Amino acid sequence: MKAARILEYRKPLVLEDIPIPDIQSDEVLVKVEACGMCRSDVLLVDGFFQSYADIPPPVIPGHEITGTLHKIGSLVPKVAGLEEGDHVVVSPGWGDGICRHCQVGNTHICPNVRWPGFGTYGGFAEYIPVPARYVIKVPKRLAFEQIAPLTDAGLTPYRGIKKIRDAGGLGPDRVIGVFGIGGIGVYAVQYAKLLGAGATVVAFGRNAEKLAVAKDYGADHLIAIKDKSEKGIAGELERATGQAKLDAIIDCAGATEMMQMGFGLLGIAGHYADVGFVGDRIDVPLFPRVSGEQTFHGSFWGNNADLSEVLALAAEDKIKHTITTIRFDQINEYIDRLRDGEIVGRAVVKF
C-alpha cells in the first residue's frame, strides 16, 4: 500500500510502498478513502509532541480518517452490525477500556490512550487496522471528503462549545467569540449558532478570506484583529454588539498573543474554552480571573458520543464544509502550506 511516513522528524514525509497491515481478531481493516490534514500533523512532523510523548519513527500521520470496511476480525461480534463494504469513520482516542475515564465514555483522555496517526499506522496510507469498537458507520450518501474532517476539525470545537453550554455560558443575552477561523474555526462558528441558544456569535481573525467564510457560515459579526490593539478591538466589539466584553470564547488557535488578548476581552463570569495549541504557553494576569470568577476549559478532541452527535448533524445536512481535495503525492506540499497558514478550511487527501 502507499504510505506517507515520518522516518525522521523535521524532514519531509517519505512516500513509499509498505505491506498492508494484518489485523487482530478484534480489529477491522479500514480501506482509507479520505483523510483530512490537520495542523497537528504539522506539529507532529516538526517534533512538537516529542516533548510530551515518545513517538518513535516510522510514523504514519493522518487522524481524520474515513473509508470502507475491507476486512473484519473473527472475534468482532455480529451485534456490532459491521459488514464488509460499510462506510465508516475512525474515532480518535483508543482507550484501554478499564480506567475511570474510559468507564464513563471519555476514552480520548485515557492515560493509556492510543491515537491513529500518531504511531505506526495512520490515515496517510491506504489501509489502517482499527479496534472494531472505534469505527462508526456513516450513511453512504455522505461524501468521504466531507466527513473525514468531522473526526477532528468538526469534532473538537463541538465538544468545546458543549462544555461552555453545559456550564451555563450561552444564551440569548450572551456574546461568544470564535478565535482562529481556520480548519476548526469554520466549524466552531456553526456550532456556536446551533448550540448557542440564541447567543450572538463574533468571529475574530487575521485573514479576510477566512473571515468571509465565517460570515457565510453564520457569524453575526466579524472583527479583523491584525495589527490592532486590545483596546481597539474592544471598541469594535462594543460597536457591533453593545458590549466591550465577551461572555464566552471558543479558541481554535491557542496562539499565545491571541490568548492574552482573549482573556483581556473576557467578561465577568466568562467562559474560555481552548481547543488549539499553536503556542505552548500562556501568561495572563491572575487577579482578573479570580475576581471575575472566570472559567477556563481545556477541551481535547472528543469521545464517541460527541462524534456520533456530529455525524447526526451531518446526516441532517446541518454542517457546511470548505474542502480542498488533494492527491497523495501532494501531501508534503500541503504540509508546508498548513505550516504557513495558507489553507482556507480543510485540505483532504483523497485516495
d(CA 262, CA 309): 29
Residues 217 and 262 in one domain: yes
Whether residue 15 is found in the same domain as residue 68: yes
Does residue 278 register a pLDDT over 90?
Answer: no
Predicted confidence at residue 175, as pLDDT, reads: 98
Residue tagged 492510543 (cell numbers): 114
Nearest C-alpha neighbor of 1 from the set 143, 122, 111, 82? 122
Same domain assignment for residues 327 and 205: no
The pLDDT score that the predictor gives to residue 227 is 92
What is the model's pLDDT at position 13? 98
pLDDT in tens, 28-77: 999 999 999 999 999 999 999 998 889 999 999 999 999 999 999 999 99
Q: Angle formed by the axes of helices 185-195 and 156-166, to 10°?
A: 30
Say if residue 171 is in the same domain as residue 292. yes
pLDDT above 90 (res 281): no
Is the pLDDT confidence value at 342 over 90? no
Output the DSSP codes for 237-295: HHHHHS-SSEEEEEESS--HHHHHHHHHHEEEEEEEEE---SSS-----SHHHHHTT-E
Q: Is the Cα torsion angle 136, 345, 253, 231 positive or negative in sign?
A: negative
Check residue 295 and give its pLDDT: 97
What integer is the mean pLDDT of 270-292?
Answer: 92
Domain count, the chain: 2
Whether residue 16 is found in the same domain as residue 139: yes
Instruction: Tell whether 208 and 165 lie within a shared domain.
Output: yes
d(CA 106, CA 328): 33
**Statement to judge: residues 234 and 110 lie in one domain:** no
Averaged pLDDT of the chain: 96
72 shares a domain with 136: yes
Tell me, yes or no, whether 188 and 278 share the same domain.
Answer: yes
The CATH number given to whatever domain includes residue 277 is 3.40.50.720
pLDDT band at 341 (very low <50, low <70, confident <90, very high): confident
Per-residue pLDDT, 51: 87
Based on the domain organization, do 201 and 189 belong to the same domain?
yes
Rounded mean pLDDT, 204-218: 94
Q: Are 140 and 166 in contact (CB under 8 A)?
A: no
Please report the pLDDT score of residue 336 as a whole number. Answer: 96
- Categorize the per-residue pLDDT at 296 as very low, low, confident or very high, splitting at 50, 70 and 90: very high
Domain boundaries, position 27: 2-153+302-350
Cα–Cα–Cα angle for 66, 22, 28, nearest 5°? 40
- Mean pLDDT for 242-269 is 96
CA distance 114 to 95: 7
| 239 and 313 belong to one structural domain | no
